[in-house]
């Protein structure tokens, strides 16, 4: 079993819809939770990151962490065609820094105009 | 502009011919790392470095070498490449020190696509 599981999709939704992306994990040592967006032929770019449990909001994006269920989510409101990309969740344990990042396999998202 | 720069972006080569992929960052970050990205497997860490002359293995280090002689550079070396090392490679960097909410996640380069025939 992988440490981090992520539905690969692909996921297609109409413009303006709310998108929900999810990851589950098995390692209870994970404390930092991140979402990266990756456009085709580009490197991953950080969207959101949270430490421990709870919610964090940034514009149209909301990240949720439920450590009791080992489940994290990224919600995108009012989705736009420019949101079409692959979304990667990533996690690391609470050590000195983030040297041991573990990634999900990514979910490919397409927003249909 | 703050960035992580990888070279080359694309390379096709043959089995056994030594190659080096360079990575350079201009943000004075202590921490640097190499990943490979494969379909269905996601991003997997190859090696990382917490500072100059300090390197350690990630999850898939076999067949790779790294060095960190300067803070800004972290080259990835394939001494004898094989076809199973055909992949998309990413270099990343971040400030190392920080705990709790001050921790700084990693910034990635745009990738190097390696094909080994």
What tens digit of pLDDT does each residue of A3-41 get?
899 987 899 999 999 999 999 999 998 888 999 999 998
Q: Report the pLDDT value the prediction gives residue A49, as an integer from 0 to 100.
A: 83
Interface check B74 vs A, CB under 8 A: no
> Which residues in chain A have their CB less than 8 angstroms from residue B104's CB?
98
Question: How confident is the model over B80-109, as a mean pLDDT?
Answer: 81
- CB–CB of A98 and B44 under 8 A? no
Cβ-Cβ contacts under 8 Å for A8 (sequence gap 6 or more): A105, A106, A107, A108, B40
The beta-carbon neighbor of A97 closest among B42, B45, B103 is B103
Q: What digits encode the pLDDT tens for the residues B90-101?
A: 999 988 655 554
Could you tell me which chain A residue has the CA closest to the CA of B9?
A: A41
Query: What tokens appear for B28 in the block?
Result: 């004075």
The beta-carbon neighbor of A97 closest among B43, B92, B98 is B98
Judge whether A99 and B50 are in contact, CB under 8 Å.
yes
Q: Report the pLDDT value the prediction gives residue A95, as an integer from 0 to 100.
A: 53
E-only strand ranges, chain B: 4-7, 10-13, 19-25, 31-38, 42-51, 54-57, 65-66, 76-78, 87-94, 107-108, 112-116
* Cα-only R_g, chain A: 14
* A9 min Cα distance to partner chain B (Å): 11
> Which residues in chain A have their CB less than 8 angstroms from residue B27's CB?
none
What is the spatial distance between Cα A26 and Cα B39, in angstroms, rounded to a whole number?
A: 21
Q: What digits encode the pLDDT tens for the residues A34-55?
A: 999 999 989 999 898 887 788 8
């Amino acid at each position: 079993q992988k440490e981090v599981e992520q539905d690969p999709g692909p996921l297609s939704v109409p413009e303006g819809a709310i998108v929900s992306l999810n990851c589950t994990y098995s390692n209870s040592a994970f404390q930092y939770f991140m979402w990266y967006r990756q456009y085709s032929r580009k490197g991953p770019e950080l969207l959101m990151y949270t430490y421990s449990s709870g919610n964090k909001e940034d514009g149209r994006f909301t990240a949720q962490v439920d450590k009791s269920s080992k489940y994290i989510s990224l919600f995108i409101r009012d989705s736009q065609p420019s949101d079409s990309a692959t979304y990667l969740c990533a996690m690391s344990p609470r050590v000195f820094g983030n040297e041991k990042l573990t990634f999900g396999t990514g979910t490919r998202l397409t927003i249909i105009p | 502009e703050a960035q992580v720069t990888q070279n080359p972006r694309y390379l096709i080569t043959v089995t056994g011919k030594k190659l080096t992929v360079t990575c350079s960052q201009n943000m004075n970050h202590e921490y640097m790392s190499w990943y490979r990205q494969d379909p269905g497997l996601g991003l997997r860490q190859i090696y990382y470095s917490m500072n100059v002359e300090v390197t350690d293995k990630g999850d898939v280090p076999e067949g790779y070498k790294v060095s960190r002689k300067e803070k800004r550079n972290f080259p990835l070396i394939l001494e004898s490449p094989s076809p199973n090392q055909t992949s998309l490679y990413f270099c990343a960097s971040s400030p190392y020190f920080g705990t709790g909410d001050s921790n700084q996640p990693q910034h990635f380069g745009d990738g190097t696509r390696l094909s080994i025939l």
